[in-house]
A and B are shown apart, each in its own frame.
Chain A
Amino acid sequence: MAILKKQFVNPELPDRLFRVLTAGAAWLAMLLLVGLVGQLFYCAMPAVRRFGFRFLVASEWDPVNNIYGALPAVTGTLVTTAIAIVIAVPISFIVAMYLVESAPHWLSVPISHTLDLLAAIPSIIYGMWGLFVFVPFMQTYIQPLLADRLGLKHLAFFGPEYNGFGFLTAGIILALMILPFICAVMRDVFRLVPNVLRESAFGAGATHWEVTYDIALKYGARGLLGAVFLGLGRAVGETMAILFVIGNVQNLPRSLFGSGTTIAATLANNFGEAEGILKSSLFELGLILLLTALGIQVLAQLWLNRIRKQMGEQ
């Protein structure tokens, strides 16, 4: 029997097959990434050749004369992401700190669960809520308050005219979307701080704030930054929620109340009807978005590695 088996099945064969299969699956991930970048680049070539470097710095978007520039979409993406991060990171930090350091158990558990549930809300829901509830709210309460009551309309970045749509509205909704993600990670980071460290600090007479700032923040810097990058990555590529409230015009951001667009919104708006050089320009925009997202990841990794070394943790 054993002899028969040996004749038909090489005993090494299952092993090798297993190795090939698993390695193949692992390589598939790599192949997918390279393939995606390659495909985007290939489809973007006509636009790259036609517009060259000017594509990145031109703000013209004229489908009738087929002239396209990426600047409005790129700056729009940067502005909305920046607003979202500026709002979401401090709030997440404070909430996470409260949950771990000071909140009583009966309160911190339900809030924690709610945070996790918030993170699971699909982005289209935020978009719908944004359009039907938040845009009118911005138009009737927030924007008049900021522009007229507080007199901010005389500043350069708060336009004199408002209609509820625009960068600020989009940025705030983005902030709400990424807040649960950032907060949940920060909470877990704070939780990982060894109690010995924390208790010894308290024992030495440190205040809550000192413990958080000097112990938890430094111990968890890696994780905290990771949380910020996680939010950043999500904010940069967010489409549906932005699409509903940004106003969708190819304008450079001049005012927080003004309308504009982002890379993802431009793609979603125009892909259905795109042909020729417009399609190629959209592919180039997609390439820019993908490279930005990858760039954020790479920078984050490099930064985290540096901090890890600085902290003497190999």
Chain B
Amino acid sequence: MKKVLTAGIMTAVAWSAASQTITLNGAGASFPAPVYRVWTYNYKQATGVKVNYQSVGSGAGISQIKAGTIDFGASDKPLEKKELDQAGLMQFPMLMGGVVVVANLPGVQADELKLDGPTLAGIFLGKIKKWDDPAILRLNIGVQIPSIPITVVHRSDGSGTTWIFTNYLNKVSPEWKRRVGNGKAVKWPVGIGGQKNPGVGNNVKRIKGAVGYIEYTYAVEAQLPALQLKNKAGKFVRPALKSFQAAGANADWKNAPGYYLVLTDQPGSDSWPITGVTYILIYRQQPDMVKAKALLDYFGWCYKQGAAAAAKLQYVPLPGKVAAMVENSWAEQLTAGGEAVKR
């Protein structure tokens, strides 16, 4: 009798566990949030699995995954191998995207304006104060540029977008590196701050002579034309899916421990110089096999079926080769209850 009862209960438990709807909770970077929103919706439609993503910022994503309150974290700033090992986390790239420079110059088509790295750094350092500065005119021969003061607009909140942008300035300007540096928030020499990407876009639209940096999708959404930038190969490029892709093309994922890679200032004549990678963080030792499998199913779906939706929003999906590499690392590194997680 007892045995039958136990067996009955066990079947019931197993049955309820299987039919229970799984919910995956993630939080972090706002840079890829537009894609993650579309993905979670499509995934729910396709599989019935619910994924919650809170776009709270990379820093908050990192601290929440470390605190164990979510199933996956997302960050635009890659963690170094040492920090990953300490926290027992693994990191893999999910998407690539571009940060662009937008400007509000009356009478000038901003997408015809050209800047190079040192000039951009000079503007953000506050050394180039007017739009008709010789450094800018030199790069834009034949363009009528009005003599109005430059107002720099930057993010007022800490942000992965700022991290990518300042990482680029760090690489192209020794003075920037010395005086300001690379961070999610930095000590801005000049300018005013706006909240998140839309806030920066808004302020640029509102102030004559403003210049700011913004994630590409938001620039397209706000219909803010983006400037051309000179890349490492010395070519002026327009921000577009194609040029972001070109920047990602020569990324050497294989030799990057913990997939730590920054795609700013990449070689290649078509490469957009301020391209960033956004990452996912999960625990190497998953607490629950069912959930671990669901997580990997979701990320695998994002790489394959999610690619089209990402490209539509101007983000670059990871090349199939890299996705396969990531899937291999899952098989190597992930465990749940001491067993390898197999999909």
Contact = CB atoms under 8 A, between A and B. Distances in A.
Select the residue from A163, A249, A273 with max chain B CB neighbours within 10 A.
Answer: A273
Given A131-B202, A272-B60, A273-B60, A249 B158 contact: no
A124 B180 CA distance: 33
Select the residue from B59, B188, B193, B194 with max chain A CB neighbours within 10 A.
Answer: B193
A165 to B, nearest CB: 5
A260 to B, nearest CB: 10
Contact of A249 (B56, B180, B188): B188
A188 interface: no
Interface of B: 56-60, 62-63, 149, 151, 156-159, 180-188, 191-195, 202-203, 206-207, 210
Contacts of B183: 63-64
Interface of A: 60-65, 131, 135-136, 139, 161, 163-165, 243-244, 247-250, 259, 269-270, 272-275
A270 B193 CA distance: 12
B148 to A, nearest CB: 11
B186 A273 contact: no
A16 to B, nearest CB: 41
A163 B193 contact: no
Nearest to B210: A163
Given A63-B158, A243-B195, A273 B207 contact: no
A273 B195 contact: no
A272 B181 contact: no
Contact of A65 (B57, B60, B62, B181): B181
A164 B157 contact: no
A60 B188 CA distance: 11
A239 to B, nearest CB: 12
B193 A63 contact: no
A225 to B, nearest CB: 36
Nearest to B194: A248
Contacts of B157: 269-270, 272-273
A248 B191 CA distance: 9
Contacts of A273: 57-60, 157-159, 184-185
Contact of A270 (B56, B185, B187): B185
B181 A64 contact: yes
Given A243-B195, A259-B192, A272 B187 contact: no
A248 B193 contact: yes
A63 B183 CA distance: 7
B187 A274 contact: no
15 contacts: A61-B187, A63-B185, A63-B187, A65-B187, A139-B206, A165-B207, A243-B156, A250-B187, A269-B156, A270-B157, A270-B158, A272-B56, A273-B58, A273-B184, A275-B62
A62 B210 CA distance: 23
Contact of B57 (A163, A165, A249, A272): A272
Given A63-B184, A131-B202, A272 B59 contact: yes
Contacts of B188: 249
Nearest to B191: A249
A275 B57 CA distance: 12
Nearest to A166: B192
Q: Which 3 A-B pairs have the closest CB atoms?
A: A273-B158, A248-B193, A273-B59
Nearest to B62: A275
B206 to A, nearest CB: 6
A162 B60 CA distance: 34
B243 to A, nearest CB: 28
Given A64-B180, A273-B157, A165 B192 contact: yes
B193 A269 contact: yes
A263 to B, nearest CB: 14
A139 B205 CA distance: 13
Contacts of A63: 158, 183-187
